[in-house]
Structure 1
Amino acid sequence: MCRFEHQGAERSGIVLNETVVDLHWAAPELAERFAPGDTRTLLTLGGEALAELEAIARAAPAEARQPLGDVSLLAPIADPSKILCSWVNYLNPAMAKLPDQPVFFSKFDSAITGPTSDIILPRIAGDIVVEPEMTAIIGKRGRHIAEQDALSHVAGYTIVNDVTAFSHRLQVIVGSPGPYAMAKTFDSFAPSGPWITTRDEIADPHDLEVRQYLNGDLRTSANTSEAVFKLPKLISYLSGFFELRPGDMILTGSPPPNAGKPEFLKAGDRVRIEIEGLGHIESGVVEETA
């Protein structure tokens, strides 16, 4: 499931065999229920409607299909009601003690960019780092969700680069460890995509290889099995605070880089993140000019 731009128009599609099926071409009657590119509303249609759309997409005529290379992929969800990010969810040698329960911070949707968009180095911040994260997309509303039921609320998975300005972490500002949203949510600090891989396509979200490259060199190599708090725990915990809604994004944490410490980005760098079964995203790095 993806958002894409073709001939100047934003569209919703399903990726099949290196092609993108335009849902508003392939299933006009069902597609009347959501606007092109409106993934949040699309997810609210529910599992049966989404399965019907996928079946229609597989049988779609040639005029409803575009080669994947002929379209520009956009962030799978542009306007989630919540972007919830798990903090310190992988063993990190820099931490003296891991939390006893999940800790979260949030990003704003203005940070979201597409899978090939540039990371912009802010004028007022420095020491910018990359954090590759397997991300769950909620597909079904829920409150006080039991752990054993948690994955049934997931529509699918995508990749998010949780870009962070170390210059604005609490450790720097007040000398206390902890997440700090303003360090996380500058414009362009959430490259995401390339699409939503549906839940049925991933046998176990906690058995996926994660790789992050900087200028072609491997910098992070890990597996989502290393997460301290697994996704069912994260979903159950969050749903005790508020209702989770279709389109909400849950970033499940970033494994530490192979060298132990991350490298700071500079203009001209290229960052690539690959997660097994989910595809890859790749960003250039540029200075803020506006």
Structure 2
Amino acid sequence: MDFMLLIKAAIMGVVEGLTEFLPVSSTGHLILTGSLLGMTDAKSKVFDIAIQSGAILAVLIVYWARIREALGGITSSPKQQRFVLNIAIGFIPAGVVGLTVYKAIKAHLFNAPVVAGAFIVGALIILWAEKRAQPVARVQTVDDMTPLDALKVGLVQCLGMIPGTSRSGATIIGGMLLGLSRKAATDFSFFLAIPTLISAGGYSLWKERHALSMADFPMFAVGFVVSFLAAWACVRWLLRYVSSHTFVPFAWYRIAFGIIVLATWWTGTVIWAD
């Protein structure tokens, strides 16, 4: 195995782990990084899907105590039953949209102007949401959420399928606009990511299984491990960050990155297409 390829896999793992759960769009960052590293072939696209698993594992570990509590009380505790039901309800819209129109979204919206526009529009929404944020939110924790709250956040999550929008950004900021506290919106975004990314990744890997071979195992293993470590650190940091900070810095970062997308597209440095 080419040592440089392992280095590239590690870099992609870091990018995936750091951006998957921040409101900055991991897809846009992976496209830019992959293009600059020369990882743009069909196998690299499968690799991008695979390293998401490392990020998901990080969330499972960080929230394992809560997940175990929910699974243990699913047959006896109304609180845990409601929690699991809310996750299932929140997942349904993305599942339906993913199976019906996501192929069309990838075919028609995966271009630089859309990606850059989504970055910048998303940034403006974050700035607006933070400006109007209420001192006391209606929903303080995920356990206070109703099924209707979960459905609304699930519908907002579908916006994350537009390249450059950010799934986590849509669910966190959308949740805040719907009355969730910053902490509740962030927690629910992470919980909702588990079934959403596992199902999307599993489906994509099954479709692209012909591109996989045992010779690629070292590259995939490195990307998976690095993605897990980066995501684990990022999730733990973000949970501390949201307790006393706003998402305004991410908004300005999105504007800057949107400009980078347009610049790399205009100069031909990056091929912004799927």
- What interval of TM-score do these two structures reach, taking the shorter chain for normalisation? under 0.3
Larger RCO, structure (CA 8 Å, separation 6 or more): 2
Name whichever structure is richer in helix by fraction. Answer: 2
TM-score (norm 2): 0.25
TM-score (norm 1): 0.25
Name whichever structure is richer in strand by fraction. Answer: 1
